[in-house]
Amino acid sequence: MIKKNAIITFDYEVFLGRKTGSVEKSVLQPTEAALKILKANNAKAIFFVDATWLTFIQKNFPDDFYKVVAQLKDIVDSGSSVELHIHPQWLNATVEDGNIVFGTLQHYKLQSLKQEEILGLFQQSIAMLQAITSQKISCFRAGGWCIEPFSDIKPALEVFNIKYDFSVVPGLFLNEGKVYDYDFSIVPRLPFYKFSDTINENAEDGCFTEIAVSTYQNSPFYRVMNKTLLKLSRDKIFGDGVSAKEKSMDKTITQALRFTKSMLTLDKTSTLIFKYLLNTHFRKSKLIVVVSHPKIISKQALLNLKYISETYNTLSPGELDKLQI
């Protein structure tokens, strides 16, 4: 039986809230557990490394930096890939009494920077990652899913020949009039497509390829069952930090009872629910793109990773050109 294709992606970063968490528990340990599973199944993943965070710890926490460097080399040596992820709020981070503090959300989005600043940040980030891994950067994921307006980021991707973007989650949106808003309600409902000036339009002659995160119609029943199963399994994340306050759209009973779009993720998903989703909602999908974060990996998430590693053919960036055929 021919295996279907999957792209497993990890956002390799610490927490961005009032407590970033330790590098050991929020990054190194969970990533090592994930790599063990990937290696055992000869599977590959794409690790989107927050290069702005990496630059910050190089300056302020060099011991942690060198531990991360060693793991990034292990990731590449094992057949997986290190690619570019940027959370610009690290530009305003400081260290107070040994703790990392984010004083402002002024630079939450790349688009808050001037064009020359964006180019400089890409140049610095790419040079650092490529020096560590000796692997060319060809993929990008925007921090906070804030890829639009794409025209502000496009020149940097052109200059550094980054062909693949992984920042789109079809059907999802957050519209609160805040800096962290995003809107994927009108993007093409395709697993991958060409684009040029905006991710909202499929352009056959576009020089970039969007590889969209897989989404499904989430029901109140799924949410209740998933929460119950996770509680029964006493599932607990590896990470020891606190996320930035997540904005929930389920603020009323009516909203809590509605169907919503959700991204396919290893994290905070019961293994029973995860397998059910793959075998029903994604049964006919020739390609799925799944998201995870080492900082919120748990035992259930590792079981999900094991399942997808065993049952799917996992693709690396070097194999993405096949999708163009």
Whether this model's pTM surpasses 0.85? yes
pLDDT value of position 164: 97
What is the CB neighbour count within 10 angstroms for residue 161? 11
Six token digits for residue 134: 């000796």
Cβ atoms of 92 and 52 closer than 8 Å: no
pLDDT value of position 104: 79
Give 179-210 as a DSSP string: TT-EE-TTS--SSEEEESS-TTS--TT-SEEE
> Which secondary-structure segment (H or E) carries 83?
strand 81-86
Regions in the chain scoring below 70 on pLDDT: 1, 245-257, 324-325
pLDDT value of position 192: 95
- In a 13 Å sphere around the CA of 214, the CA atoms on its Cβ side amount to 23
Helix (H, G, I), strand (E, B) or coil at 286: coil
Q: Of 75, 210, 206, which is closest to residue 145 (Cα–Cα)?
A: 210
Spatial separation of the C-alpha atoms in residues 81 and 138, rounded to whole Å = 10
pLDDT value of position 260: 86
* Three state DSSP letters for 98-143: CEEEECCCCCCCHHHCCHHHHHHHHHHHHHHHHHHHCCCCCEEEEH
Cβ atoms of 96 and 153 closer than 8 Å: no
Give how many domains the chain has, as a whole number: 1
The enclosing domain of 43 has a CATH number of 3.20.20.370
Spatial separation of the C-alpha atoms in residues 185 and 173, rounded to whole Å = 6
pLDDT value of position 218: 94
| Exposed/middle/buried for residue 72 (C-beta within 10 Å: 0-12, 13-18, 19+) | buried
Helix (H, G, I), strand (E, B) or coil at 158: helix
Residue 229: give the domain boundaries: 5-324
pLDDT value of position 281: 95
Which tens digits make up the pLDDT trace of 230-261? 999 999 999 999 987 544 444 444 455 577 89
